[in-house]
């Protein structure tokens, strides 16, 4: 079987993350096993008419704006069976793009201080999480506006600073496409975590229907 073709898209006007450097790191990391072939792009126009070349797209984005053509191109791609992976600040992106956030089922409301916390696996039988154990990560613990009735939850984390538990990873379908959101990914401390990297790899393969 040919490697899955992945686009790691980094479009950002944010200032708190090295999205370009970290996006390239992600593209390189997921390509090492040979079952994924990742391209990296910051060109927004690829969203309007260039996604058909890919099995999956991973958004590592922040703030920004989408034109109607770009948003419609992305949503049509997913509806028609393309895989979409939203990472970390993908939930903090394109505030005015209602269709995008409906597809993602996530909108950033805030986050904890940068700290160590434990990510708990709550579905141990899913292809993305099977064999993974709870793990400690240094990151921001995200609070997102999210309709839990529309998605299946895979991971969560407890925030002792506000005595609340928040979803960290979930998936659902959008039209004929698969969507996966993973809330971690602030900086290299998270990206170099082996559990983070394995979740990224499996999530990309799952939305691209290489994992059932």
Please give the pLDDT value at position 150: 97
Q: What domains are defined for the chain?
A: 4-109+168-207 (3.40.50.880)
The mean pLDDT value for 54-72 works out to 96
Q: Provide φ and ψ at 70, rounded to 5°.
A: -70, -45
The mean pLDDT value for 158-166 works out to 97
pLDDT of 95-139, one tens digit each? 999 999 999 999 999 999 999 999 999 999 999 999 999 999 999
Please give the pLDDT value at position 15: 78
Dist. CA 8–CA 29, nearest whole Å:
11
pLDDT of 187-198, one tens digit each? 999 999 999 999
Confidence of residue 1 (pLDDT cuts 50, 70, 90): confident
Dist. CA 19–CA 88, nearest whole Å:
11
């Amino acid at each position: 079987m040919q490697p899955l073709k992945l686009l790691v898209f980094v479009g950002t006007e944010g200032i708190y993350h090295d999205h370009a450097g970290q996006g390239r790191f992600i593209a390189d990391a997921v390509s090492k096993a040979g079952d994924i072939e990742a391209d990296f792009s910051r060109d927004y126009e690829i969203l309007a008419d260039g996604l058909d070349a890919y099995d999956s797209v991973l958004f590592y984005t922040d703030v920004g704006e989408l034109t109607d053509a770009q948003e419609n191109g992305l949503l049509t791609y997913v509806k028609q069976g393309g895989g979409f992976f939203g990472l970390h600040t993908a939930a903090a992106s394109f505030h005015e793009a209602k269709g995008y956030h409906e597809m993602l089922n996530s909108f950033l409301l805030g986050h904890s201080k940068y700290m160590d916390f434990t990510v708990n696996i709550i579905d141990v039988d899913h292809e993305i999480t099977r064999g993974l154990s709870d793990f400690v990560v240094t990151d921001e613990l995200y609070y997102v506006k999210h309709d839990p009735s529309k998605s299946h939850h895979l991971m969560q984390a407890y925030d002792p600073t506000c005595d609340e538990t928040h979803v960290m990873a979930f998936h659902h379908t959008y039209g004929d496409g698969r969507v996966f959101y993973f809330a971690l990914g602030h900086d290299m401390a998270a990206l170099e975590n082996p559990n983070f990297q394995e979740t990224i790899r499996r999530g990309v393969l799952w939305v691209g229907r290489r994992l059932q």
